[in-house]
Amino acid sequence: MVAILTPRTLEKRPYRLRCRFKIEPHPRLERLATEKVRVAEQFVSDMRKQGWVHDNRHPFVMKGPFTPIIPITLHPRRMPTAREMLAGVMRGERYRDNAPSEASLVVPLMQADYWEFEIAAVFIRTQILTEYPDAHEEQH
């Protein structure tokens, strides 16, 4: 459930919000400028739908390029319990974690299939959203 907290003074607080976009590697400056404007317009439009107002006094700031980060889901191996290891330990077996790393390697920027750039802008909102659990979700 989402609750809306409104300060008594109704003063507006600025927040710097960020979004990232993908683009082909080694873009021309004209292409990058065009994409920046398109993404900035979409960013402002999406934030307006959520109740945010863009503060025009602060310009958009673009940073990048960044190497794309691909999220992965790790499935850890099951570690035997002490009871399961007891017989092996008594025989002299050693239980060490010699498994290969499950983390993926990050591709160098010059070898990446696409680059990511980040746009930051200042937005204002009078209402602060906070989330708290429903009654059926709170179990002690």
Q: Coil, helix or strand for 20?
A: strand
> Which amino acid is present at 63?
K
Residues 76/29, Cβ–Cβ less than 8 Å: no
pLDDT tens string 17-35: 999 999 999 999 999 999 9
- Cα gap 39→118, rounded to integer Å: 10
Q: Parse the chain into domains and list their residue ranges.
A: 1-68+109-133
pLDDT tens string 53-68: 999 999 999 999 998 8
pTM score over 0.85: no
